[in-house]
Chain A
Amino acid sequence: AQSVSQHNHHVILSEAASLELGCNYSYGGTVNLFWYVQYPGQHLQLLLKYFSGDPLVKGIKGFEAEFIKSKFSFNLRKPSVQWSDTAEYFCAVNEGRDDKIIFGKGTRLHILP
């Protein structure tokens, strides 16, 4: 069964710092990968997704992620974070053969102004 691991449970950064959040998945076949963000008190929003093609995916709000198949990883990056990036970030995976998306445990990001 597929699973998703997010190694950083809580990250605290200052504004303008660079960000990288780790995500690893377990399924060895074709996968579709996602990063979702949940701002305080708000619903989940899709940041970016990968399903094929260029392994470097650009999303909204300056975020990007790189799919490294050999490492089963899909890390999220942003070169310079803002206070408004404070949120919970979820990595998610879909095997590509059904409609089920499984979420990682999430990383709580806190940006200091």
Chain B
Amino acid sequence: DTEVTQTPKHLVMGMTNKKSLKCEQHMGHRAMYWYKQKAKKPPELMFVYSYEKLSINESVPSRFSPECPNSSLLNLHLHALQPEDSALYLCASSRPDSGNYGYTFGSGTRLTVV
């Protein structure tokens, strides 16, 4: 299995809703990432988990809450989002010392906040 699986593929939520994005990989990767990608822009790093511990938070607003329940799963909990948070949310994974190996990306969740 050489994939990163993200669910759901599409999500529409209101500004008062609570929802979660899910990411799963079974490649034995111990680093996992959330990126946000707006249309025609590069991916922007949000969070990095290394060995199931949060190692990097790129000053992301608290309405985004990451969780890594185990080495294969990464969640992103969403609450009280704004319309400008609408974007493609990408999950990625890598072996530790990811620079040497590169990331494997999921296909993303396209989020629309209404």
Q: List residues of A whose CB falls within 8 A of some B CB.
A: 31-32, 34, 36, 42-46, 49, 51, 90, 94-96, 98-106, 108
Q: Would you call B100 and A51 a contact (CB within 8 A)?
A: yes
B64 contacts the other chain (Cβ, under 8 Å)?
no
**Residues A43 and B106 in contact in the complex (CB < 8 Å), given A99-B48, A99-B56:** yes
B90 in contact (CB, < 8 A): yes
In this complex, what residue of A is CB-closest to B50?
A: A99
Residue among B44, B48, B102 making CB contact with A34, cutoff 8 Å? B102
- Which residue of A42, A95, A104 contacts B99 across the interface (Cβ within 8 Å)? A95
Closest to A105 in B: B42
A76 → B minimal CB distance (Å): 15
Please indicate the chain A residues that have their CB under 8 angstroms from the CB of B104 in the complex: 46
Report the tally of A-B residue pairs with Cβ distances under 8 A. 64
Residue B113 at the chain A interface, CB threshold 8 Å: no
Would you give the shortest CB distance from B29 to chain A, in whole angstroms? 11
Q: Please name the residue on chain A nearest to B101 by beta carbon.
A: A49
Check if A101 sits within 8 Å of B42, measured CB to CB: no
B103 nearest in chain A by CB position: A101
Residue pair A43, B105 in contact (C-beta under 8 Å)? yes
Residues of chain B contacted by A98 (CB below 8 angstroms): 55-56
Cβ contacts under 8 Å, B105 to chain A: 36, 43-45
- Extra pairs beyond A98-B55, A105-B41 (18, CB < 8 Å): A44-B90, A44-B105, A46-B104, A49-B101, A51-B100, A96-B97, A96-B100, A99-B50, A99-B94, A100-B45, A100-B48, A100-B56, A102-B45, A103-B42, A103-B43, A105-B42, A106-B40, A108-B40
Minimum CB–CB distance from A16 to chain B (whole Å) comes to: 27
User: How many Å lie between the Cα of A20 and that of B43 in the bound state?
Assistant: 22
Q: What would be 16 A-B contacts, judged by CB atoms less than 8 Å apart?
A: A32-B100, A45-B105, A46-B103, A95-B99, A96-B97, A96-B99, A99-B31, A99-B33, A99-B94, A99-B97, A101-B45, A101-B99, A101-B103, A105-B42, A106-B42, A108-B40
